[in-house]
Amino acid sequence: PTGDTIRSPLMADGSQTVTSVLWVAPPHYYKAGRLIALYVGSDNDVIDALQDAMGPRFAGGAGARRCPAIRFRQLRPSFLTVVRSTTT
């Protein structure tokens, strides 16, 4: 994957793999090549450093700075098992 794709929440059998996240601060997603970085916070110095290193964010950041629109294309259902989340 190039980082320009997002996985589908639908499994081959029609079930969904949707997860809800309650953020402690605004999430900011950045992409440079095949690397995707997530910063959860609102420190403008950190945001500026990430933007300098990786370019403008492509998602997140509600209430901090305007997020540019991005188009996603669906991945095949077999890719869905690659990404997992955990809770503590």
Contact by Cβ (8 Å): 72, 4: yes
- Judged against a pLDDT cut of 60, whether residue 84 lies above it is answered with no
Contact by Cβ (8 Å): 80, 7: yes
Q: Where are the domains of the chain?
A: 1-8+24-75
Strand 5-6 versus strand 35-40 pairing type: unpaired
Q: How much is the pLDDT for 18?
A: 62
- Its sign, for the CA torsion 66, 55, 75, 18, is negative
What is the reported pTM? 0.53
Read off the pLDDT of residues 23-35 as tens digits, 9 standing for 90 and up: 788 889 998 888 8
18-31 burial code (b ≥16 CB/10 A, e <16): eeeeeeeebbbbbb
Q: How much is the pLDDT for 1?
A: 47
Q: How much is the pLDDT for 25?
A: 85
Read off the pLDDT of residues 21-68 as tens digits, 9 standing for 90 and up: 777 888 899 988 888 899 998 888 999 999 999 999 888 876 544 444
Distance CA 46, CA 70 (A): 22
